[in-house]
Each structure stands twice: as structure tokens, then as C-alpha cells.
A and B are shown apart, each in its own frame.
Chain A
Amino acid sequence: MNTSDFLSHKQVADLIKAVGAKRTVLIMGENGVGKTAIHHTVSQDPKFDDHIKIKPIDSTQLSDGALFMPDLDRERGVSTELPNERLGVSKTNRKGVDGSRPVLGMFDEIAKVPQFVKNMLAPILYERRVGNYIMPEGSVWFAATNLSNEGLGDLLQAHLRNRLVVVKMRKPSLDEWLNDFAMPRQLNPVLLACVQEYPMVFDSFLDYEKGGKYEGKSLDKDNPHIFNPKAVQDAYASPRSLHAASDILDVMGEIDAETLRKALDGAVGKAFASVLDSFIRFGQQLPPINTILSAPTTAPIPSNKIAQQVQVFQFITRAEDRDQAQAFTQYVMRLQPEMQSLFCRRVGESQRVGLFTTVMEFGRMLADNKIYYKV
């Protein structure tokens, strides 16, 4: 599927801020991409400072009694409907009553609920009304649900969809996730380093469908880390579950290695937990960067050759000036030829090639390794 008709988190939030008081926006997106987090983003906007902010409501737990209760007025011979307190509307807070404050709310997982609950929600979504109680002017309600092709039972009839503004929200890119979510919330640095090496966790199963950038590839084999609607998975990496992994990594000093691994398995799935586990091990084996920079000819070399390769990749992205490039080059010269060649090649492909080409030792390393490139 071509995901070009999908919006980013920011674009969806901006749309709701702009039009949410007039129209109900329904966000469709794959699980764990941050649909519910849109509520948090919108709530932070000063435009909604005066609103009564209702926490996202999990629609699957609703029955009609959780929205309103019938009330009998036998004297007048009528029945009415009394709204549930959580909806923010009441006798004293409704349209036409002085001092009333508009409401900001979200119905999550809306397409998964039984039809009779969808019917009960309709007046709120279409008219901002519960029974005879009309919400104060400016009230914003929006809804979210999964994509129908995720196979999670999300169904919304055409006539219902037609009365909503339906938009699709994509997974964040690595940069969006890092800059807009992970860094501001200070997620665990091991996780941040790992996802930068493994940006494929931000790919989507949609990328592997017709029209997607990986059309023709097997999602099952190519990217077992992410949600796959065609496979039974215990867990997988998504922006939401990466956040959970960060919380687990934050307390890794308090739990043993086996508990850590099992917890990560349960949060992000075995495939990505294995990658995180490798990163933790590499982190334990590699000498600190400052040690290498200050004593490149004597700093310890990890015995694990895979850790050495990880190190080589890191050096290229970490070198900030010529002195650092020289120190890293001197250190790499102590590694076996495979690592030196890997280093030379990756430097050549990187944008920092200019830093290294002025280092005399780098030129010598290139010359020494020339033999391996000639057939």
C-alpha cells in the first residue's frame, strides 16, 4: 500500500486543533503508532486551556449505561437521558448555561465496539449531544481506531464514516520519533542508540503491501521486528512498545539479565529484544569513547569481533573534528584487516569523509588494505 496518503502525528494533531470543534475527526492507524497520544498533544495546546480535558475513553468498555442512564419523569409522562459524568456535560455545564466550559475528549478503538454502542455514540460525535444535553460551544471530540487491514476487527459502516472526517495516520519516522517524542521524554539512551542503528523498526507492514516501498519482500523474513497482520506474534516493536522497553531498560540495574530479557521479549517481541540485548552486551564490552580518544594506541580492544565491528560504525558517526578522526583511526589500525577495511569503506561512504582524509594514518591504512580490494 502506498502510504503517501497518510498524515504524520503533527499533521493529525493540527487538523484536530483546527477543525475539531466543528467536525469529528476519526484517526485510523496501525496499532501502537501514537493515536491515543494525539490526545496528549492536542491537550497541551494553549487553544484548549479552558477546556475540560477528559482522558481518552476506551470505547470497547462502553455500554449505553456508561454514556447515559434513562430517567423517568412520571409527572410529565416522559423519560429523559442523564449523561455520564465522564462526558463533561451536565445541568450546569452545557450549551446556554453561563460559565460552561467546552469539553475535549476522545473515543479510542471506536470501530471495535458493538453496533448498539456505536449508535449510542453517534449523537456525541455528530451533534455534541447526550440526550437533551448539548455540549458547550467549542467542544472537541475525536475518535481513533485501527486500520481495517490489520485484521483486528475494526469495522465502520459507510454511512457512519461519511459523517466523520476520516484520516489515516502513519508511523513516525525515526527522526520524528526521536525529536518529537523520545528526546523530550528522555527515553533510555541504549534504546535510542539501538533504534538509530535499526531504523527498520519504524517501517510499517504497509510498506510490504502492494504499492509499498518493499512490495515483493517478505515481511515475515525481512522485518520480523514489527507488527505483521498475517502472523501470530506475541509482541513486536511499535512506538508504544518501544516506550515500554525504555521503561524496562531504565531499571535494568535492579533486575537480573534473564528477567530483563524476558521483560523485553514481552514488550517488543523476541526479535527486537534480541537486538536490544546485543546492544547491551556491546555496551558492556566496548571501552568508553573518551578512553579511546585520550589513549588510542593503548585503549583496550574488545575480544568480541562483532563488538569491534559495532565500534567501527560508531567511530564514523562520533568523530567531530580532525583530532578525533585521527584518534579513532589510530585505534582502528590496531584491529584486524577486516575491521580496517570496513572502517575505510564506511568512511568513504559517509559525509565525514573530509575529516578523515586529512589524517595521515588514514591514508596509510587505505594503502595497507588496498591488497584486499584487488581481485
Chain B
Amino acid sequence: MTTNKQSTWDTMTLEQRVRAVNIDIMNHMDFSTLSGLVTMGNINIVDGMPTAGTNGVDVFYGTEFLAAQNRKQVRFVQCHEALHKGLRHCSDYKDIVKKYPQLSNIAMDYVVNALIEQTDPDHKFIEHTTYPKPLLDPKYYNRSFVDVLQDLLKNAKEVEVYKVGEGDNAGGDPLDEHFPMPDDIDGKEIDKQIEDALNHGDMVQKRLQAGQGSKNNPLNGLGVKRDTDWRNALREFIEQVVTGDEYSRYNPPSRRFFAHDILMPTHFDVAMGELVIACDTSGSMGPIYPVVFGEIANICKQANPDKVRIVWWDTEVCDEQVFNRGDFDNIASLLKPAGGGGTSPQCVANYMVKHDYKPTAVIWLTDGYLDACPTAVCGNELWGVVNNDHFQPAHGKTLRIHN
């Protein structure tokens, strides 16, 4: 006698399966960050659609595709679609997507899949879809969509692009379709809903963790807008650490008026020293330097440090430029970047020790893709990290610069 015992999953309707997966996600220690996003919008099950897709609000599933996935695979797809919503892939990059439709889709998938993979590397909760196989490359972990797209554009010839649901690409295929958000949807309203969903998800996830755990959840901070005004922050840092100050005191009093029975204070200055700016010469940094140094020149004219020393480095210190008081106007125009490629900032720390430089402050300008963080070179270090929200230096303050 044979029994055909059906699992609960098999007895559910397709819509119930998606709802069941939403509930799984809402109860998961880490993926619950997506609680708000998975319930946002509507679930649409569409005949004839090859895989799945989202317009940034609603999610669409092909009937056959959804029916073929097991519970862990649907979790993967739901998380994937929720992350497209949370990262505003369908609304914030319409112009880029119009220009590079296929590569944009690929880049977005790399970003989203990397986040899921980092959250559940052992696949205890999710499972990759078998067809299409998701796009995944460790080199794109912790990278933004624009960053990945730029990299793909550089290597565009090497990237084989398939229509969704076709091909047998060993490196994976785009999982889904990213429809532009319809124009009749109020973008601002959706933006607020996404913000609410991310805030709520963050709260749910923190509750589930109950303040415990030492593991970083890669999904944390999805909604944080890192738009600190780097110009103001740079000015404040430089002024704070290298601007001299003037003081007056009555002990001792001014001798000039003392004989006339008039007590006046004496004045004294506290002069500050040298500012070192250590510049990473990776290719990605080139365009930012004129902008940042234009700003630094203006700040230095006012803060008037004794000296500004610019050190150019890659795997070794390639050159240095020194600007004294009175020369600060010319910093931006006289820049002579030297070196290129390679990212070993320890060479700067060694160089400063070797030459016995003792600056008041050091500003590192880098894209943050480094082999290792260098040893501390002075008590006041600011890391101007360009277009990278993930690099965190071991010491000093971090200033995120978005170009």
C-alpha cells in the first residue's frame, strides 16, 4: 500500500505560500528587518511571467515559477524583492536604468543577493532558486548599486547578458524583472512608506534579538541616509584641530599700563602645527580630488595651519607636496597626484615615522578598499571615505563623502 501524504506547503494556494513566507521572514532573527517591506504593496500572481518582478511597491510572480519553488526558495525570492523595494531600485535610478537597462538589472541583483547571502551564508533559512541561478560574486559584497554598475560597465564586454529566464550562465542570471515605478504612483508617498517600513523592520528585528548577539546583521542600516554635509564636517575638523587660538590673562598683567595703576591682561597665542593629507591614488579617487582640495584650500586660508603636507600613496609613498602659509590658495591647482593602483596605507604610517613627521592632524582620503587599516599616526585622524558606506577604520573619525 502506498500513501501520498502531502506536505502543508503543497496544500497551500500560491498566494498562501507567499504569505506563509512573509510570516517566516517577520519571525526570523535577522530577516525580520524586512518585515515592513514584505507586507508593503500587493502580491500578484500572473500567468505567463517567466520568474518574478517588482515595481518598487507590488510584487509579481509567474504562476509556474512560484509553483516550482520550495519554501526556502520563495523566502529567497521574497527577500530579494523586498530589498529591491527597500533600496529604492525601481524609483531612484530611473535615468540610469533607462540608459543601461540590462547592466542595471544585473548590478541591482548582485547587490541584493549579496545582502541575502551575507545574512544567511549557511542557507539555513533561504535556498537559491535553481533556475535561474542567482547572480552572486563576493567582490560585490558591501558595494552599492552605482559602484557595482560602474565596475560592470568597465568590464561590459566580459559580462554575458541573458534575457530573464533564459540561458545557462554559470555565473548566474538576473532573477527577476525590475519595472519602473508607475508614474501615477505618488513617489513621495511611497518613499515615506519605504522609510516607515525600514524603521518598523529595524524595530521588529531589534525586539526579536532582544538586545543580544554580537553578529552584525548586514541588513541593518538599510534605511539610513548618510548625507552628512562633508564640507561642513571637513571645515569643522580642520578648524578645530589646526586653528591657533588667542588668549588673554591677568596673571601676569600687562606691564605697559601697570605703572599707571591700570591693570590690563597680557595676550598670548597658541599656534597649531601641520596638517597632513594622505591621498589614496586609486583610479576611483581621481575625480574627487579637485572638489575636495578646492574645499580644503578655502578652509586652510581661514584656519591658517603652519603647513599642509599632501602625501600621495599607493603601495608606497610616491610623492609629497608641501604648502606653507600664503600658498594655500594654490593647493587645488598645483596638485600633482603621483602613483596609482594598490592600496596599502601602512606605507604612510611608516613614512611619517621614518621622517619624524609629527602633524597636529592627519586627513586620509580614500575609497576604503584597502588591504589593511594602518597603525595610528596621530591623535587627530579623519578618514574621508569616498563613495563607500562600509569601510570602518580602526581609529580616527570617519567622514563619508558621496560624489
A residues bordering B, Cβ < 8 Å?
63-65, 69-70, 72, 74, 114, 116, 120, 151, 197-200, 203, 213-218, 220-222, 224, 229-234, 270-271, 274-275, 277-278, 281-282, 304-310, 336-339, 341-342, 345, 371-375
Contacts and interface: CB of A to CB of B under 8 A. Distances in A.
Interface string B79-105: 000000000000000000000000000
A81 B162 CA distance: 86
A231 B398 contact: yes
B228 A116 contact: no
A271 B224 contact: yes
A306 B85 CA distance: 14
Contacts of B38: 338
B193 A306 contact: yes
Classify the secondary structure of A's interface with B. helix
A306 B248 contact: no
Contacts of A305: 36, 39-40
B261 A72 contact: yes
Classify the secondary structure of B's interface with A. mixed
A196 to B, nearest CB: 10
Among B16, B220, B395: residue with most chain A CB under 10 A: B220
Nearest to B230: A232
Interface stretch (B19-27, B173-181, B337-345): B19-27
A309 B19 contact: no
B39 A306 contact: yes
Contact of B398 (A114, A232, A234): A232
A-B pairs, 10 with minimum CB distance: A216-B214, A374-B8, A221-B221, A232-B233, A305-B39, A232-B399, A278-B196, A372-B20, A306-B36, A341-B23
Interface string B8-19: 110110001001
Contacts of B196: 278, 281-282, 304, 306-307
B119 interface: no
A342 B23 contact: yes
B203 interface: yes
Contacts of B354: none
B212 to A, nearest CB: 8
Contacts of B261: 72, 74
Nearest to B241: A153
A341 B225 CA distance: 31
Interface of B: 7-9, 11-12, 16, 19-20, 22-23, 26-27, 35-36, 38-40, 71, 192-193, 195-197, 199-200, 203-204, 206, 211, 213-217, 220-221, 223-225, 227-230, 232-233, 237, 247-251, 253, 261, 263, 265, 270, 382, 392-393, 395-400
A222 B224 CA distance: 10
Given A63-B249, A278-B195, A338-B22, A371 B399 contact: no
Nearest to B72: A375
Contact of B250 (A70, A215, A220, A374): A70
A375 B215 contact: no
B206 A200 contact: yes
A202 to B, nearest CB: 11
21 contacts: A64-B251, A65-B248, A70-B251, A72-B263, A116-B249, A199-B211, A215-B214, A217-B215, A218-B392, A230-B392, A230-B395, A231-B397, A270-B224, A274-B225, A281-B196, A306-B40, A307-B196, A308-B39, A309-B36, A309-B204, A337-B19
B312 to A, nearest CB: 24
Contact of A222 (B221, B382, B397): B221
Given A72-B261, A221-B217, A371-B12, 4 more contacts: A69-B263, A270-B227, A309-B36, A375-B7
Contacts of B221: 220-222, 224
A151 B397 contact: yes
B126 to A, nearest CB: 14
A63 B397 contact: no
A234 B215 contact: no
A234 B27 contact: no
B199 A275 contact: yes
Given A70-B250, A232-B237, A274-B199, A217 B228 contact: no
